[in-house]
Structure 1
Amino acid sequence: MNEPDAEVESDRDAMLKKRQHIDLFDTNLSRLILRLAIPSIVGLSINALQQVVNAIFVGALGAQAIAAVSMAFPIVVLLTAVGHGLGVGTASFISRQLGAGEYLEASRGASTALALAAPIGVMLTIALLLNLRGIFVTLGVTPTIMPMALDYAAPLLFGYTLMLLNIVNGFIVRAEGNTRLSMWTMITAFTLNAMLDPIFIFLLDLGVRGAALATLLSQIAAICLYIAYFAKLRGIVLVRIFHISLRADRIKQLALIGAPATMTGIVSAVYLMLMYRAAAPFGGESIAAVGIAMRLLTIGALPIAGFCIGSHAVLGFSWGARDFARVLKAAKFMLSMTVAFSIAYSAAIVIFARPLVRQFSDSDNITEIAVSTCIVFHLFFWLFGIHSVVTTMLQSFGRARLSAVVSLARQGYIFTPAVLLFPAIWGFNGLLVSQAIAELGARMIALFVMFHQFGELRRAPPNEPCPQYGLL
């Protein structure tokens, strides 16, 4: 054993006794999942609230400001997709290695992922900054909105590498069971952002650029917390320079498992581009209405996503330990929780659409369009919990191809042809129909895959690799 490996083994033996945040072997599965998931829910809900707070402050600047920030949202989604994909691949790798007792391999995976994230962030930042105006032209940004869209997007891009590192760090600490650190980091970033928004936007009169700068500074605060955590070796997974390994097989595992998540994020960005481009011919008020509906949709989706992300460690850990009965039990509990929430949220939006929309805009025209948009967007949201659990299961198992089939359905191969066809026939109502068809179709695919996966888990012999599951 070489010197770095020996150092890791000795560190690991000492850490397991004093730094095990949550016992992933806990036999009370529902308690374990809730202890992991609740901090993730709080953290991602805070992230959604941060978007709402930004929208409320920006909304005070007028409809054009809301439209400008909304048109920049697809770029933010695209950038987040890269970090989410790398983070999902890393978390899946780490949780399965921890379940198998391979602590050194888990540390190598985490260190390698962070080493890859930095240059990726820099390259994407440069590429997007050089083509930012052309991207907005492609999105259909009007000349009146263009200056504000550029003012908002450019500062965000300068902080993208930090955002990417924060996303990957969050997945690493959640994979080892420390969802609380991720939660408190997000809360810290939100609090700072909320405090700086009115100062930068109004007091310093920076407008939408002030909102972007506030977000940038909050990302700096978050990365400082993660640096302190890993520098003081407070986690089970050790992030160190000599753990970085550019072996092709390890990078391949991180990339293949995370690829569907990245592809989903990229498709989500294209989905938003198509959505706003389809709304653009109907005026800035229609763009603002779609932006409001998308924000409310995100608010509902993030707690479910947070629950699944927090539970990811249990699924991956149990999979790595080849305890398939435990995987099935965990998945069923996740379904009961996420479906109950998605039904309640869908009903709440449909019933209280008008007062909710009024929180974003005082314009009567925007309100009328946004109310109907919000209702249609949430008609089939009650099935979102099933879709999220199935996607998380497939990611935890390392089933990249099937994960792509499920995750790309709604915003990709179902929505794209619909939105290219129906708005041309039925106008803005065609856009709403496209969204409803995509939602329902994707949920039905997830439901079918779920029953198939449950059947395979029931038939899989314990403590042996499931014959139907592999990396691909």
Structure 2
Amino acid sequence: MSVSSTDLAHKSIKSLLIKQAVPASIGILFLTVNLLIDTIFVGRWIGSIAIAALSVVMPITFFISSMGMAIGIGGSSVLSRALGKGNHEKAVATFAHQIMMTFGICILFVIAGLFFSEEILFLFGANGAIMPPAKEFFMPILLAVPLQAFCMMGNTVIRAEDKARHAMVAMIVAALSNVILDVLFIKVLDMGVFGAALATAFSFMLCFAYILWFFIKKSELRLKLSSFVFHPELVKEIVSLSFVTFARQGVISILAIILNHTLYAEGGEQAVAIYGIISRMLMFMLFPVLGVTQGFMPIAGYNYGAGNYIRVKEAITTAIKYATYISIIIFVVVLVFARPIAALFTTDAGVIEGTPVALRWVFAASPIIAIQLIGGAYFQAAGKATKALLLTLSKQGFFLIPLVLILPPFFGIFGVWIAFPISDILSTLLTGLFLKKEMTEELKEA
């Protein structure tokens, strides 16, 4: 085992969290800036209908590629705990299984997408004028999705090896290449929505090439042919934890379907475009909190596997503290700059007018979400699949989807926006109860 991964057992939690979270945050920053710029280019150079098309297509392709993220996070929990116990052979076998499962599952989804593209797009909200640009955007990205899935899976494995800098570089490669190719295909070659899709697909390819290079040249997980023999028990262990992330992404996709149809019914294409801006801002503004969450997981998983519960508890409290500070800053920024943020994306006066109020309400409970995110991440890192699944599904599945269905008949489109902070508050309370019990009863001194 490399010295790098064993540092997780000895270095101070604060320094480890910074070491893990800063590269993860920078990587997510580049990824989300890429999505923002993509949306800005599409909105300003093509039109607000194109933003609505992106809002329909991205949840579909992200759902498929999230198979890689799910297998990556679930398998990396197994991998981190195996490294913590000194079982390097199991860690290598886990990685091999992650590769096989990622490509196998994603290719099946891509085949289904090729045969039923129009039906899937309609299901996800491609109504009226949104359908033509959505179809144009969908196909190139769909074909490149298995590479994106491998990138998502590989990124979590790289962080589990305590090599977060390389995970960051992979995300930067994807983001920068997409921005450059956007300018080339949309502005210079005037290829419209299809050009935006091509730029995204090629950026996946370049990210895939970098991650493949890392595993060949830099990784401590040296694969052999014998590593690619399926072990049912290992598959079962990976799937049980991967299912947490997969279920979350599945619920997010169901939420996208309900939101897009509800928003279209309440406010037409313009309302869908407004949510397209808000969804990008949710990813962008929360990047440092997500970075802390991702940085926290290998620290918690490794030390839980090693039975060092004092360090696990310290990691939980430290991560929540710093993530909360960051969340408060994010809330203030959104509160003050909501209108200038909306004006960045489009020149459509109706979209600019409708976005600020919606944006402020969607972010209203952001100062408290650190407990929700870190709590769910802990149970996944510790291999407690049932609790992780329950908490992961709580916001979107148990609270947000029902509220989006219940509130609009009474409050119109405003009911959609206030559903977000209400669900954040309820899911944070639930996670807090689980986490408090875990820290006082389960994580006793070893």
1:323 to 308, 332, 344: 308
What's the offset of the Cα at 1:217? 0.9
In the alignment, which of 333, 343, 346 is matched to residue 331 of structure 2? 346
Q: Secondary structure at the match of 1:235?
A: coil
Residue deviations 1:340-389 (CA, integer Å, cap 9, x gap): 11111012101211111111122221112111110110000111111110
Residues 367-425 of structure 1: per-residue CA shift (max 9 Å, x gap): 12111110110000111111110011001111111111111111112122221122122
Equivalent residues of 1:324, 1:457 under 8 A apart: no
Report the alpha carbon displacement of residue 21 of structure 1 after superposing the two structures with TM. Answer: 6.7
User: Is 2:438 the partner of 1:450?
Assistant: no
User: Is residue 2:420 matched to residue 1:435?
Assistant: yes
Q: Which amino acid aligns with 1:278?
A: T
Between 449-458 and 202-211, the greater mean CA deviation after superposition: 449-458
Q: 1:44 aligns with which of 16, 22, 28?
A: 28
TM-superposed CA distance for 1:66, in Å, is 1.1
Q: Does residue 409 of structure 1 match 2:419?
A: no
CA distance in structure 2 between the partners assigned to 1:236 and 1:140 by the alignment: 44
What is the match of residue 202 of structure 1?
187
Which residue of the other structure, out of 218, 224, 228, is the alignment partner of 1:244? 228
Rounded to whole Å, the distance in 1 between the matches of 2:225 and 2:135 is 37
Q: How many angstroms apart in 2 are the aligned matches of 1:326 and 1:127?
A: 45
Report whether the alignment pairs 1:334 with 2:315.
no
Letter in 1 for 2:10: D
Quick one: distance in 1 between partners of 2:159 and 2:229?
22
- Which residue number in structure 1 is paired with residue 82 of structure 2? 97
Match of 1:377 in 2: 362
2:390 maps to 1:400 = no
Amino acid at match of 2:408: P
User: What is the TM-score normalised by the length of structure 1?
Assistant: 0.91
431-440 vs 444-453, greater mean Cα deviation: 431-440
Distance (Å, rounded) in 2 between the aligned partners of 1:243 and 1:249: 14
Structure 1 pair 288–22 and aligned structure 2 pair: CA distance change class (3 A)? farther
Q: Deviations over 1:294-316 (max 9, x none)?
A: 11111123321222112211101
Asked if 1:33 is matched to 2:28, the reply is: no
Q: Secondary structure at the match of 2:277?
A: helix
Paired with 1:261 and 1:214, the residues of 2 have a C-alpha distance of 27
Task: Please state whether the residue corresponding to 2:7 is helix, strand or coil.
Answer: coil
Q: Does 1:212 align with 2:208?
A: no
Of 110, 113, 136, the match for 2:95:
110
Which SS does the other structure have where 2:333 is aligned?
helix
Describe the superposition over 1:211-266 as per-residue Cα deviations: whole angstroms up to 9, x where unpaired: 1111111111111112222222x222223332123111100110001111110011
Question: Which amino acid is the alignment partner of residue 271 of structure 1?
Answer: L
Q: Partner residue of 1:9?
A: none
1:138-217 equivalences in 2 (<5 Å)? 138-217=123-202
* Alignment match of 1:391 (pick from 354, 372, 376): 376
Inter-CA distance 300–22: structure 2 relative to 1 (3 Å threshold):
farther
1:442–1:117 Cα change, 3 Å: same
* Residue number in structure 1 paired with 2:40: 56
Tell me what 1:313 maps to: 298
Shift of 1:457: 4.3
Aligned match of 1:277: 261
DSSP-derived class of the 1:385 partner: helix
Structure 2 counterpart SS, 1:159: helix
Moved more, 204-213 or 313-322: 204-213
CA contact (8 A) 1:111 1:241 kept: no
Change in Cα spacing, 1:142 to 1:427, as seen in structure 2 (3 Å) is same
Cα drift, residue 208 of structure 1: 1.1
Unaligned runs of 5+ in 2: none
TM-superposed CA distance for 1:138, in Å, is 2.1
In the alignment, is the contact (CA less than 8 A) between 1:423 and 1:431 conserved in 2? yes
2:65 — aligned with what?
80
For residues 224 and 347 of structure 2, what CA distance do their matches in structure 1 show?
52
**Kept after mapping to 2: 8 A contact 1:312/1:392:** yes
Deviates more, 1:174-183 or 1:184-193: 184-193
Contact 1:325–1:457 under 8 Å retained in 2:
no
Contact 1:192/1:218 (8 A) holds in 2 = yes
**Which amino acid counterpart does residue 416 of structure 1 have in structure 2?**
I
Query: Aligned AA for 1:104?
Result: E
2-side partners of 1:118 and 1:80: how far apart?
Answer: 10
SS at match of 2:222: coil
Shift of 1:456: 2.3
Give distance in 2, aligned partners of 1:73 and 1:27: 39
CA distance in 2, matches of 1:45, 1:80: 19
Contact 2:73–2:242, Cα closer than 8 Å, also in 1: yes
- When the two chains are superposed, the root-mean-square deviation of aligned CA atoms in Å is 1.5
Q: Distance in 2 between matches of 1:66 and 1:443?
A: 31
Distance 1:347 1:75, change over 3 A: same
Task: Using structure 2 for the length normalisation, give the TM-score.
Answer: 0.96
C-alpha distance in 2, partners of 1:256/1:454?
23
Q: Which of residues 133, 153, 164 is equivalent to 2:118?
A: 133
Whether contact under 8 Å (1:81, 1:263) holds in the other structure is no
In 2, distance between residues paired with 1:398 and 1:182?
23
Matched with 1:361 is 346
The CA deviation string for residues 41-69 of structure 1, in whole angstroms up to 9 with x for no partner, is 11111111110010011012111111111
The CA distance in 1 between the partners of 2:285 and 2:435, in whole Å, is 22
Identity of aligned residues (%): 24
Mean Cα deviation higher: 52-61 or 130-139: 130-139
Write the distance in 2 (CA, Å) between the matches of 1:313 and 1:140: 37
- Summarize deviations over 1:131-173 as a string: whole Å, max 9, x none: 1211222233223221100111111100011011111111111
Shift of 1:83: 1.7
Structure 2 contact 61–145 (Cα < 8 Å) conserved: no
Amino acid at match of 1:446: T
| Alignment-mate amino acid for residue 93 of structure 1 | V
Aligned residues: 444
Query: Which structure has the highest helix share of the two?
Result: 2
Superposed structure 1 runs of 4+ greater than 6 Å apart? none
Rounded Cα–Cα distance in structure 2 between residues aligned with 1:401 and 1:21: 27
